[in-house]
Homo-oligomer: A and B are copies of this chain.
Amino acid sequence: MEKKERPLILVTNDDGITAKGIHSLTLAMSTIGDVIVVAPDKPQSGMGHAVTIHHPIRVTPAEVPYAQKAWACSGTPVDCVKMALYNLLDRKPDIVVSGINHGSNSSINVIYSGTMSAAVEGAVEGIPSVGFSLLDYDLDADFSASQKVAIEIVQKVLSDSHFPEHVCLNVNIPKGPSVAGIKFCRQAHGMWVEQFNERIDPYQKKYYWMTGEFVVKDKGEDTDDFALKNNYVSVVPVQFDLTAYHALTHIQQWEM
């Protein structure tokens, strides 16, 4: 059965609507369907699943090449998805696509990342969703390999009528002109070992910059971290039921 309508694709990110990554993703997605962009009006990296409830939110029409329509939003990446679905779009998109992020969102970074939280929010809404990240923080990174990956994966998701409900994909792409292939993985167990860089302001008051080193102790060869280290694209399916079922069995034995 042929679809008459082109798919409607909602694009967002956390680096902001002017980032090269979202422009690259918009162009790639425009080869598949009609693209609407609703993205933060400023960088919102590390915003996790934050929502704006104590401040008003503003949206402004914007121009993004290859998008049918675009809006800059003053809120977080998750706000952008909510604003698009509940206030801006005429119909439910067929897919929510977030990125392409400037920098990795593998392993534990999925919980800190605004890019991935936007994709998770799509999944909460029952819409297939994918977050893309390139392992290159450069503002002028080369997204051409990532664009091919994004097209391939989004086409796969759109054509899979049994794509699991309430799941999104966390796709990370190695830096460089070509990749070894695609691996379907679990999230590696990793964490940030932080360092607070202490400074003194001109008024003699202390302030800190949070810096850190990302450490993965997980030795598994089935993880996103392992795939990326071997120049493979990593694809981790992500859910939002945080229940630790194994722990539930344990604490149910407590006598209270």
Interface residues of A (CB under 8 A from B): 43, 45-54, 56-59, 75-76, 78-79, 82-83, 85-87, 108, 110-112, 117, 120, 124-125, 152, 156, 160, 162-164, 166-167, 169-170, 181-182, 184-187, 189, 191-196, 199, 205-210, 235-248, 250-252, 254, 256
Contacts and interface: CB of A to CB of B under 8 A. Distances in A.
A238 B244 CA distance: 5
A87 B196 contact: yes
Given A86-B196, A164-B250, A208-B56, A49 B112 contact: yes
A213 B240 CA distance: 19
Contacts of A254: 156, 160, 184
Given A45-B53, A56-B199, A108-B240, 11 more contacts: A53-B210, A58-B205, A82-B210, A86-B196, A108-B124, A110-B242, A111-B240, A235-B251, A237-B248, A238-B244, A239-B243
Contacts of A54: 43, 45-46
Contacts of A189: 166, 241
Nearest to A239: B244
Contact of A48 (B50, B185, B247): B50
A86 B195 contact: yes
A120 to B, nearest CB: 7
Contacts of A52: 46, 210
Shortest Cβ-Cβ A-B pairs, 5 listed: A48-B49, A237-B247, A239-B244, A56-B207, A237-B244
A235 B79 CA distance: 28
Contact of A49 (B49, B196, B208, B245): B49
A51 B243 CA distance: 23
Q: Which of A48, A110, A192, A195 has the most CB of B within 10 A?
A: A48
B45 A48 contact: no
A194 B86 contact: yes
